[in-house]
């Protein structure tokens, strides 16, 4: 292998590492809020963890991973709607049979509480809509989510179920970003638990991707020390 080929591969792996550090930032760090008048009254704030997870997911969803591996550099998708980007990513993830999404998900939710929690969701406009895409199969986004959560728990999980979980999660993202869910809604115990479910779906998908890259191209996985090195110095003492 030539020197230039080695450098090209090195830059490719460094670019992947930047994505994984964003993933680890969402996965490893606890995100909280506090009353400015009572700074010791710190509490975990799950919406932040969900938002950081979606940022990391959105970045990897913009990459054509099959072409990137072939060219040994990041190849970005040319715009397009979220469903198309999602389908492209899922085609790549599920073409590789050695890394199973369900196994990745079990690291975050060993009891698969996602299935039980999916039955407690209150309907709103976004999730009552019908999804007529090839994986949506003309059902409502909500009913697709419940069925797919059950499939995940039962071990009957394939690409269409993965799509339905992620597309539902995208609707939750829209509700938060566009103000349908208020801060008071997101602080309710049942809502906080479900936000953990949605975050786990995103993090498990990211974990699946990086495991595949480790297998396919020998990518060396990052760990918590990489987060510390990429944090501003004022925060590093809290991580040590």
- What are the average pLDDT values for consecutive 10-residue runs of the chain, which has 240 residues? 72 95 89 67 75 94 96 92 94 88 96 94 85 93 97 96 96 74 58 89 98 95 75 43
Do residues 65 and 76 lie in contact, with contact meaning Cβ atoms separated by under 8 Å? no
The two three-digit tokens of residue 117, written as one number: 């929690």
What's the confidence (pLDDT) of residue 104?
96
Rounded to an integer, what distance in angstroms lies between the CA atom of residue 139 and that of residue 106? 27
End-to-end CA distance of the chain: 40
Residue range(s) defining the domain that contains residue 223: 3-239
What's the confidence (pLDDT) of residue 101?
95
What's the confidence (pLDDT) of residue 78?
87
Closest CA to 93 of 220, 221, 206, 223: 206
Q: Which residues pair with 139 in a beta bridge?
A: 131
What's the confidence (pLDDT) of residue 75?
97
Dihedral angle sign, alpha carbons of residues 213, 214, 220, 225 = positive
Number of domains in the chain: 1
* Helix pair angle (82-95, 189-217), 10° resolution: 50
């Amino acid at each position: 292998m030539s020197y230039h080929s080695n450098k090209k591969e090195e830059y490719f792996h460094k670019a992947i590492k930047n994505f994984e550090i964003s993933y680890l930032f969402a996965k490893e760090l606890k995100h909280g809020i506090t009353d400015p008048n009572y700074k010791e009254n710190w509490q975990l704030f799950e919406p932040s963890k969900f938002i950081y997870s979606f940022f990391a997911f959105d970045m990897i969803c913009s990459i054509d991973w099959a072409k990137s591996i072939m060219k040994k550099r990041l190849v970005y998708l040319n715009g397009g709607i979220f469903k198309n980007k999602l389908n492209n990513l899922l085609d790549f993830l599920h073409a590789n049979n050695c890394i199973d999404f369900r196994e990745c998900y079990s690291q975050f939710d060993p009891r698969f509480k996602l299935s039980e929690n999916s039955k407690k969701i209150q309907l709103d406009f976004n999730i009552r809509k019908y999804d007529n895409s090839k994986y949506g199969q003309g059902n409502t986004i909500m009913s697709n989510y419940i069925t797919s959560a059950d499939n995940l728990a039962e071990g009957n999980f394939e690409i269409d179920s993965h799509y339905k979980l992620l597309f539902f999660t995208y609707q939750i993202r829209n509700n938060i970003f566009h103000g349908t869910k208020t801060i008071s809604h997101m602080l309710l115990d049942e809502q906080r638990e479900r936000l953990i479910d949605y975050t786990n779906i995103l993090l498990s998908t990211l974990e699946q991707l990086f495991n595949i890259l480790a297998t396919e191209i020998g990518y060396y996985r990052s760990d918590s020390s990489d987060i510390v090195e990429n944090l501003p110095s004022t925060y590093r003492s809290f991580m040590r």
